[in-house]
Amino acid sequence: MKPKFWFALTGALAIATSCCAAATTAVDQRGLAFSVAALTIAKGTIIQFNNHDEKAHNNQIRADGGGITDGGLQQPGQTLRAPFMKAGVYHVTCGIHPRMKLTVTVK
């Protein structure tokens, strides 16, 4: 299945319309949890969220001091790619399952 790309609402994430040469880091969603609780990445890295759960997710990214970027509904088996273009700390949660939490530090 072709990955879905996020569109920036806060300016913290760049608009992506096709695959690019940027580094990609995978984060799996399984058992109503992210595969890691914290992650440090370089500016420009794309995080690829892979939904291996039997339930849909709705990844939301909040930058410290900024608004929320909503990734929309991600069905089981779907992949969502989020490019992180600005340094800072970001908090990723699932809008459906709020106990799912991931902190991303972008350097």
The predicted model gives 34-39 an average pLDDT of: 98
Give the pLDDT of residue 7: 43
| pLDDT (tens digit per residue) in 61-96 | 999 988 889 999 999 999 999 999 999 999 999 999
The predicted model gives 50-61 an average pLDDT of: 97
64: DSSP letter: T
CA 81, 84, 67, 11 dihedral sign is negative
Indicate the CATH number for domain 4-106. Answer: 2.60.40.420
* Predicted TM-score (pTM) of this structure: 0.80
- Burial code (b: 16+ CB inside 10 Å, e: under 16) for 33-60 equals bbeeeebebeeebbbebbbebeeebbbb
